[in-house]
Structure 1
C-alpha cells in the first residue's frame, strides 16, 4: 500500500503571492501554510525601502476676531456712587476723569 499512500500525498508549490500551499498526508488531514507575500514598494538602490512622505500638518481653524473693549470703569451718576462701588479716584488724563467735576481743580476727581 505504499503506492496508494504516495498517490494520496500531493504537494504543489505556489509561486504566486497571496495563495496557499496545501500538503495532504492522508485523505483526512491537511496542513495549510500561507505563502509569504512579496514586499511592496520599490527599494532604493541601497536596499532600504523608500522613505514615506510626511503628512501635511493640519491648518489651524480661523478664530473670530473680537475687538477689545476699552478698559474703563462703569460710569456712575455721582462720585459718591462710584466710591461706594469701590471705584475712583481718577486723575486728569484718564477717561473717567472727564465724567465727573473737579471742583477744587487739583486734577483728581472722586477722591
Structure 2
C-alpha cells in the first residue's frame, strides 16, 4: 500500500514539474529570452572580427594546442582592450610568459 501511495505522489510531482516547466518556458519566450532548447553550432570566435579570428588561429599555431581557460581569458581581455594583429600576439605572449613565471 505504501508503495502505491509513494508511486502516486511521485507521479503527481512529476506531472507538476512538467506543467511548471511548460509555463516557465512560455513565459521565457514571451520575455524574449534566448531559447534554451535550441542548440546552435556555436564556434569559438563567433562574432569576432576577421583579424581577431586570424590572431586566435596564430595563437593556436604558436601554442600547438587550443588555449586553456586562463590563456583564453587573457586573450579575451586583450581583445576587449582593443589590441589586434601583431601587437595582440606580442602582448598575449608577454602575459603568458609572465603568468608562467609566477
TM-score by length of 2: 0.22
Structure having the higher strand fraction is: 1
Higher relative contact order (CA 8 A, sep 6+): 2
Structure having the higher helix fraction is: 2
TM-score by length of 1: 0.21
| Structure with greater Cα Rg | 1
